[in-house]
Amino acid sequence: MQDRQQVPSPADTESDYTARQLLSTLWMLPEYIPLVTQVLTHDRLLEGSAEYVWQVIKNHVGNGKLDIPTALEAINRNGKARQFFQQAQEENYAPRKYSERQIVAWANKLAEKGLRRFGAGIAEKAKGSLGNTRIPLDEAIAEVMREFAALRSQGGVNTWRSSAEVAIGTRRMIEAVERGETGFGVGTGFPSVDVVLGGFKNGELTILAARPSMGKTAAACEVILHIATCYYESGSDECVGFFSAETSAELLQLRMACSMAKVNQSKMRAKKLTPEEKQRLDDAVDYIAKLPIYIDESSRPTTENMLLRCLALDNVFVNGERKKIGVVFFDFVELAGDVDANEVQRISKVALGLKVIAKYFKIPVVALSQVDRAAEGRMPTLVDLRWSGQLEQLSYAVIFLFRPSYYKKRKDASYDPHFDDERYLAIWMIAKNKDGPTGPVQMRFEEEFAKFSDPEVAQAADLDRW
């Protein structure tokens, strides 16, 4: 017999037709019911008769088999459900072996429709709380964002991934490495660092730590410029989020522009730039203005607020196009507003919150951090991370920045004299790398421009002592 043509009636909505396709297929192929249950995680994600039939099917399956007589009796007790189910069976008359991917796609489509309906309800409720002047505005907004975050994280999301699905991403990683890309995450823009580190990993926390004046923020700005430029020039819809609890957005952008244009910021402030330098700086500001970099300069943001603000950034529209967050930077850990019994527990809480953001969005999170004073004048080690071993434990990688020329110029008493060789301009010490090598990477640092770059000639072999 020829298959009946599966065409929805004009009065149907697309979701009605999709629901009938899904439920009639599950009736014939009940072994897929547990899989769909992982997607339709909330009751009432479907509507009306579709929800009733889904609950009947879900409640009458066991050991991969459907108790058809009992389930059919339950469906027939509801007139609208009976009519819905009869139409579904007619449209899907000829049994087919639908792929797992198709079944999951139907379920995800219906789950999204249900979540949108739930979200509309939250938005309606928000009108009341936002209109109530007795509730502080920040508190009302935070409550609404929490409800949306819970909706997004819990509803319609299948957290289990089969080996076959994971293998697709694994092969992409391997192929990316063969093409000369980092393959495992977001590149830093410094080939010497990426060879060792393999880029910042999606879903992981990376710590960039140093003593004051070593160039933490300068390094972060350099990496952010590289990543944002890649997004912009490739036409990607991704963007960079930068939480700067220490420095204003304007000063950060000025720092980026001076680095890009190779203009001395002190000279600029003294109004001593040449016409050529002024033009280079103007061009740099114009270019940076086009890049998908978003800066939050709030003082002492909590990691919960950072998560909520990342949710907002992940849905920002620019020129009619939706942007999604690709990587987050935070400068710096000790300035987070999280509260706990003591500083050690507080920093542990911050580290965990940053890790949650990385896992939730499946993006790299790079957090800058201070190093204890005991490391002054020498290469820091993991024990020098300030306040908390949790930074070390929860991070995928830890990078220390060390510029011996800073101490040499100060004639610091703690300066280690064996750094007198001028080749050691700056060192990025990869002290922890969960799935790769560790060790020092020599970098060039032009102090007058606060600019890091790869050295012209690699000197890695000379750094083996570290």
Q: Write the pLDDT tens digit of every residue in 156-196.
A: 444 566 677 677 777 877 777 677 665 567 888 888 888 88
What integer is the mean pLDDT of 213-239?
Answer: 90
d(CA 244, CA 332): 7
Judge if 367 and 229 occupy the same domain: yes
Integer Cα distance of 132 and 417 in angstroms: 65
Looking at the fold, whether 425 and 336 belong to one and the same domain comes out as: yes
For residue 27, the domain's CATH number is: 1.10.860
Q: Is residue 166 part of a domain?
A: no
Place of tokens 């139409």: 87
Q: Give the pLDDT score at 11.
A: 44
Check whether 285 has a pLDDT greater than 50: yes
CA 193 – CA 441 distance, rounded (Å): 6
Per-residue DSSP letters for 42-68? STTSS-HHHHHHHHHHHHTEETTEE-H
More confident residue, 179 or 366: 366
Strands (E), 127-265: 185-186, 200-201, 205-210, 238-244
Residues 103 and 252 grouped into a single domain? no
197 plus 306 within the same structural domain: yes
Residue 172 lies in a domain: no
Percentage of the chain surpassing pLDDT 90? Answer: 17
Residue 169 lies in a domain: no
Task: Answer yes or no: is pLDDT of 414 > 60.
Answer: no
Same domain (yes/no): 305, 444 = yes
Q: Does a structural domain hold residue 375?
A: yes
Q: Looking at residue 190, which CATH number applies to its domain?
A: 3.40.50.300
Q: Are 240 and 326 found together in one domain?
A: yes
Say whether 384 sits in a helix, a strand or coil: helix
pLDDT in tens, 423-453: 447 888 999 998 888 888 888 888 788 888 8
The verdict on residue 177 lying in a domain is no
Q: For residue 256, tell me if it sits in a domain.
A: yes
Which one-letter DSSP state was computed for residue 385?
B
| Angle of the 137-154 helix axis to the 303-313 helix axis, nearest 10 | 70
Q: Domain of 254?
A: 182-463
Mark whether 283 and 404 lie in a shared domain.
yes
Q: Does a structural domain hold residue 165?
A: no
- pLDDT band of residue 464 (cuts 50, 70, 90) is very low
- Among 94-108, 134-148, 211-225, 357-371, the minimum mean pLDDT is found in 94-108
90 with 236, same domain? no
DSSP string for 387-448: S-THHHHH-SEEEEEE-HHHHHHHT-TT--GGG-STT-SEEEEEEEETTS--EEEEEEEETT
pTM, full prediction = 0.64
The bridge status of strand 324-331 relative to strand 365-370 is parallel
Residue 179 is classified by DSSP as T
Q: Which of 289, 367, 298 has the alpha carbon at shortest distance from 328? A: 367
Domain count, the chain: 2
